[in-house]
Structure 1
Amino acid sequence: MGETLPPLDIDNGDMTATPAPIVSRPDREGVAVRLLKGSAKKSYEPVVDIDWAAPLADDKYFLPPQMSSLYGTRLWEQMSVQQRIDLSRHELVNYLSMGIWFENMLNQSLLRGMIRSSPTAGSTFYELTELGDEARHMLMFGKAIRRIGVEPFWPTGRHARSVNTMPFIFRGPMLWIAALVGEEIFDALQRRILEDGQEVQPLVQRLMRIHVTEEARHIQFARDGIRRDVAEMPLRTRWILANLHGLGATLYLKNFTRRGLYQRVGLDGAAAQRQARANKHFHDVQKLGFASLGEFLEELGLMGPLARRMWKRSHFL
């Protein structure tokens, strides 16, 4: 049992033709190590850190009313308080459903990228930590949706095919841009929920507190990744990257104001969608969500003319 095995003598043959793993840059390593320490000090386990058995309050919203896509519209004025609360319930579930889709896509992209990364690099260790965080977030969102008692908004048909294709597109610098588009907008909205949370369900406040705390590290890692990559990027790649992220604006607007969302609460889906998309109050919510990311993209010269037009057309700028 205590015998020491001799080292294996392996003939690599033609294995030298296989690309060596990419080793993370030293400066990137420092960021990864710092974030790893932060993860070790403050991370959560939603299964035990949230009281899933606590009753939901009948008179509390699931989003601050001012964040509703219909707040301030003619339809909103015609709705009872209970109808408004019910709308907030479905809008929250819509946000959480979108969060699950995105974190699923991000995890797939991170795993694909790790095939070419050194398994001993600090950046790989942090990416694995982020994978664990995102898996727990998907579980947390799923349990919240089940606790709230509303069916998730799940992609089907062509939409599902598009979602399944995205992990193959999110590679290299595009992965970090996609991560920021997916994380920063939701992060800003979640911080708004925490700031204006007096009318919001305690379950939702706890969920947002956990997600904001852990996503702050993910955002730092993605920002550091794109900040370092952009300096070495060919002009053509940079132009594509600076404009392609504008597609996120259309995706967000379409999903934030889906007709089925309004139909679930007994409203005319087409009329509600029109009023939501023309709603200046909701435009302010969208601009708040995009403000920090927009400033960062401008700072790096990654707000191209096509992307700017798309974000403006969808009322994020």
Structure 2
Amino acid sequence: MALTDPVARRHRHDDAHGHGHTAADDDVSKRLLESAATLSYDPSTEIDWDAPLPDDHYGLNPEWSTLYGTRLWGEMTERQRVTLTRHEVCSIMNTGIWFEMILQQMVLRDQYLKNPASAEFQFALTEIADECRHSIMFARACEKMGVPAYRPNKVVAQAGRAFKALAKGELAYGGALVAEEVLDVMQRDWMRGENVLDIVRGTSRIHVVEESRHMKFARQEIRERMRDASPLRRRTSATGIAMGAYVIVTSMIHPGVYKSAGLDVGRALAEARASEHRRTMMRTSSRHLMAFLAETGLLTSRSAAIYRRVHML
């Protein structure tokens, strides 16, 4: 929620002194720290960056392509399908890099001047270190595939700049959870895809394992903030998180991926938007997220309407 919001101001005291943080909450952070100490990866050594890329391997499971099941997909050559999926996965990775940079700034601001001896503080910094490695990992993967750096358009980029400057509490962690949850479901499929590039399977495996801790941390932070939240705060935050989700989801696939595959961009965009298969996959990837938001009172009629516009609900 924006720092200028009157509801947010009423909660500043709690936020400054641990936002109602309990021993049970700290236990969650301690367990996450222990997990990070025993199960973390170094992408620079875990992935064979010099291995050649088989010409017939996809960038992601074909079922996750925006055009899968459309008439245009049926008309495409196999080479075009492979090229498209490689550009799509790199577009998603670049969106991940963009949002991970936003996330790091929000987490740093949230932990500013808090007790550095606390498990919450230490795991927050551990998460930031993970995100830095993930961004480098995604950047190297796209470079290896020879795909350009797809970036959000200027309007979205400025919206992201405002979000990272103003979002706090459940709004900040809710935005992070949206990006992590949706990508997690996709990558769990990609890491098992036998016809998917090893470099994508490897980066997906690392990201899934380490992001599972980040998602648990975000859920716990949201639960803490929502314990004594007023109905107005819940409604406002629910709408803000949904708006963030709308921007993230609509920015995942850059229109340039279709041009790179030699397709008519206008037709490809139209068929992707109309694809019932694509809508079903989006609802599948958002199922756990919607259940959590409902549990915490952050799924309102207004926010649900926004999620339905991008087929997350």
Mapped contact 1:62–1:200 kept (Cα < 8 A) = yes
Within-5 A mapping of 1:45-84: 45-84=42-81
Cα drift, residue 257 of structure 1:
4.5
Instruction: Percent identity, please.
Output: 36
Mapped contact 1:70–1:279 kept (Cα < 8 A) = yes
**2:172 and 2:90 mapped to 1: Cα distance?**
25
**1:21 and 1:68 mapped to 2: Cα distance?**
44
Which residue, out of 235, 238, 260, partners 1:239? 235
Structure 2 residue aligned with 1:307:
303
Structure 1 residue aligned with 2:10:
none
**1:253 and 1:161 mapped to 2: Cα distance?**
16
Runs of 4+ in 1 over 4 A off after TM superposition: none
| Paired AA for residue 146 in structure 1 | E
Residue 114 in structure 1 maps to residue 111 in structure 2:
yes
Structure 2 residue aligned with 1:135:
132
Mapped contact 1:70–1:272 kept (Cα < 8 A) = yes
Mapped contact 2:104–2:128 kept (Cα < 8 A) = yes
Mapped contact 1:109–1:175 kept (Cα < 8 A) = yes
Cα drift, residue 160 of structure 1:
2.1
Cα drift, residue 262 of structure 1:
1.1
C-alpha RMSD over aligned residues: 1.8
Within-5 A mapping of 1:90-129: 90-129=87-126
Structure 2 residue aligned with 1:203:
199
TM-score (norm. length: structure 2): 0.91
Structure 1: tracts of 5 or more residues without a match: 1-18
Q: Looking at CA atoms only, which structure, 1 or 2, has the larger radius of gyration? A: 1
Cα drift, residue 259 of structure 1:
2.5
**2:206 and 2:254 mapped to 1: Cα distance?**
27
Structure 2: tracts of 5 or more residues without a match: 1-13
**2:16 and 2:279 mapped to 1: Cα distance?**
45
**2:160 and 2:298 mapped to 1: Cα distance?**
24
Q: Match of 1:82, SS?
A: helix
CA offsets 1:176-215 (integer angstroms, 9 cap, x no match): 21111111111111112134x0110111111100000000
CA offsets 1:225-262 (integer angstroms, 9 cap, x no match): 11122111122111111222221343244324542221
CA offsets 1:265-287 (integer angstroms, 9 cap, x no match): 22111111110011011111111
TM-score (norm. length: structure 1): 0.90
Structure 2 residue aligned with 1:270:
266
Mapped contact 2:92–2:253 kept (Cα < 8 A) = no
Structure 2 residue aligned with 1:43:
40
Residue 248 in structure 1 maps to residue 236 in structure 2:
no
